[in-house]
Every structure is written in structure tokens, then in C-alpha cells.
Amino acid sequence: MSLLVVGLSHRSAPVSVLERAALVGDEQAKLVQDTLAAEPATEAAVLATCNRIELYADVDKFHAGVAELSTLLAQHTGVGLDELTPYLYVHYEDRAVHHLFSVACGLDSMVVGEGQILGQIKDALALGQELHTAGRLLNDLFQQALRVGKRAHSETGIDRAGQSLVTFGLEQLAQGAPVAEWARGKRALVIGAGSMSSLAAATLARAGVSELVIANRTLERALRLAESLAQQHAATPAAITPVGDDISAGAETLREGLVARAVPRDRVSAELPHADIVVSCTGATGLVLTAAELRTALAQRAACPPRAHPVGTGVSLLDLAMPRDIDAAAHRIEGLHLVDIESLAEAAAEPSGAPGSSAGAMAADVDRVRAIVSEEVAAFGAAQRAAHITPTVVALRTMAADVVASEIARLDGRLPDLDDKQRAEITQTVRRVVDKLLHAPTVRVKQLASTPGGAGYADALRELFDLDPQAVAAVSRADGSARTAEPNDPKGGRA
């Protein structure tokens, strides 16, 4: 079996295609389940973010695997295969490993060096484990990718290239001004309470906004986020109070004027006229803010007393969702400044677009991360090749133990007068002889199997000792079950 990845990202496809291809709700789970049901695949996992959709599988046939995975991506994204195919990339075996490790390190991100991709890789692994579509290969691969990503961030300065898409987006809204100066004293509305929205809320709180409102479909989650941010910023949570049919939670910080509140998402229209900054990332299938709603909010905002908006009348919008949350028509509405995934992609593509992206400042760190990736790919390949021969070695030793047991039983029939001590000594002697005969060749064959092109040693061992293929397969299945049942690695496992 061999690792295959088929996908598309901001590097291969325009945002308009990525937006249409976005997987929302249960579509990721359906995709990996259908992939596992397909003939060429025995394991499957999907990595879906705001700027990439990648399907990983363990396949037995390359061409059939590429065709099947491409077809499945087209079916589940709703983009026709003929239209989707030009934007797809394919990586196989070591190149597939290299690709995921590079993604985990932030080398393939829209903002080079961003660390949030590690959480998304954890989510992909968690889904595969939950649905039992990730077996030994993908469990090993994704957990190692997490470790490689963490190593890159701890051993290099790749973080200097950009903390996250959130910080990059806010910097685009600030238009060259320091984010802290631009955001200070403003009112912010964050729609959604997932990982990206939570990061946006935390970033805005640190930047010094005067008020932070978190709107979410599940109010309890928004409340927890607001309370957590209030505590982190030396806040004293206020009591939960009813507001009409709504529930609002407030927490006023010790720093004068900073307030964190949580409201249900159906209260967005009421909060919108009072917001100077709006960040949205919900995963909704339709628009969260339409052009009509934005125009209405602007009109209501204009009718407010001047003192209600001391920092100006314009509204800054940051849409980090895929598909988009905010109507693209906002780009053409006076009084609105919209930054979305498409405009971020364009900014990141510019030579000086991404923060800290100058060649002189980042070249050494990027080169070091690439070296780490190459080193880890080689180590992962060696470990996988060595693991491939382990079931054969175990089956050989099991066969040898069975031969010893059979010969000892025959000896008992021929020499019935042996006492227990003599029988035990003979048994131990025969076992030592067998172990010594097998030790050197089994150790050496593991070493040889870990080298490039060493996969054939397992076949040679099975042929030389006439090992039962079913016995080898049984050992392999047992090993795979044990691996997937192991607790997650604290250094790089499931979140």
C-alpha cells in the first residue's frame, strides 16, 4: 500500500473555486467514509481549511487511486470534475509525506509560518480516528506531521513570518498602521466562536478595542469565550442579565472602557450598527451578512449621535470564512472596508504583502525549516519501511517457536524418562540456539529494509522460510489495531 494525496489550495486554484469547493458541516465525514468505501483505498483522511482541501489515502494502485480520489472530491464539493481537475495537485509516497510536513510547518500557508494549521491537522486526525478511517499509516503520518510542525516552530524563527491569517487580515485592515494603534478604542463584533473566531477575538482584545461582542449560534460557547477573555485581561465578569427575549453576558475589565459580551447570532443585526470592526468566520453555508443588511446598518450608524462613534464612521470587515460569510458586494459599498480570503491571497502574493516576508529577514529560517522537513521525511520513510518488515520477522520467530515446541513434544515421546529439570534445560538450550541463529539475520534485515528500495527484503524473507502469508497478514492487522487504539501522543496527537 502507498500514500496518496489529491487536493487543491490557494496556490493551485483561485479563491472563487476554493469557495465553491469548501466542505461544510458533515461533508468532511461523508467524504472520508466514501473514500474508504472506494476500492483502491484502505485508509482516508481529509484536511480542509479556509484555503485548502486535501484528501489523503493509503492506496494499492496509483492511477486508479488518483482517478477515484479526484472523482470523490468533485462529487462532494459539487464542482464538476472537468472544471476541478486543472486545479488539483497530486503527491505520492515520499512526496506526499514531504507535502504534509511542509504544510504542518506553515511553508505552504497563505501567510508563511502561521501556526494555526497545526490545530487543523489535529482536527483532521481526530476525525479520521473517530470514524476509524485512519489506520496505522495515516495515524503515524499525521502525528509525525504535528511533531515536525512543532519542531520547526521551536527550533527556528519561522513564526516571524506571520502568526496567523487573523493577524495578517487585521494588518490589511489597518493599512500600514500598527494594529494596536488602529484598533484602540474601537468597538468590535466577532461572529462565530470557533478556533479562527476565538483567535480573532483574543487578538482584538490584546489590541485594545473598547468593546468586544461575540455572536454565536450556540450562546454558551460565546459566553465561555467572552468570560475567558475577560479573565485573561484582568476582567470582572458581570452577572448574566436578560435583554428582552435575549440573554447577554457582560464582563467589564479593570482597564476602563473594555467590555466583553456574548449574544446569540440572531442579534447580529442589532449589534452591527454599533461596531467599528466586524470579523466573521462561521462555517455557514450561506451569507451571514448580506449587502442589504450592511447598508441598513450603515444607515442606522449614520443616525447615531456623533459621540457614539468617536473613532470615525467607517466600518472595517474581515471575512475569514470559506465559503464567504460577508457579501462580496461590500467591496463596492461606500463606508465599508472589506478584507476577505480573496484579497488576502492577493496581498500575500505580493513581494512585500505578507508580514515579515522580506527575503533577507526570512530566508535563513525558511531554509532551516526546509532542511528539517527533508530530514524528517527521510526518517519517516525509514521507519515505515522498517515497520513493513516487522510482521514478517514476527511471523518467522513465531514459526521458529512452533518448531521448537513441536520437537520438544517429539523428544518427550522418545525419552519419556526425562525429569522436569532435564526437560526444561533441553528446552532452554534449543531455544537459545534458535534465537542466536535468528538474531543476526533479523536485525540485519530490518536495517536493510529501512533503506530506500528495501521493501523487497520482506518478500525475500517470506520466500526463503516459506512463511504463511496469512500468518504475516494476521500479525500486521494486530499491530495496526494496537497502534490505532493507543492513547494520542502528548507531543503531537489529537487535540
Catalytic residue numbers, as ranges: 50
CB distance 7 to 17 below 8 Å? no
β-partners of residue 246 are 243
Q: Give the angle subtended at the CA of 376 by the CAs of 453 and 135, to the nearest 5°.
A: 75
- SS3 annotation, 399-455: HHHHHHHHHHHHHHHHCCCCCHHHHHHHHHHHHHHHHHHHHHHHHHHHHHHCCCCCC
CB distance 89 to 78 below 8 Å? no
| Burial of 485 (C-beta count, 10 Å sphere; 0-12/13-18/19+) | exposed
β-partners of residue 277 are 188, 316
| Burial of 295 (C-beta count, 10 Å sphere; 0-12/13-18/19+) | middle
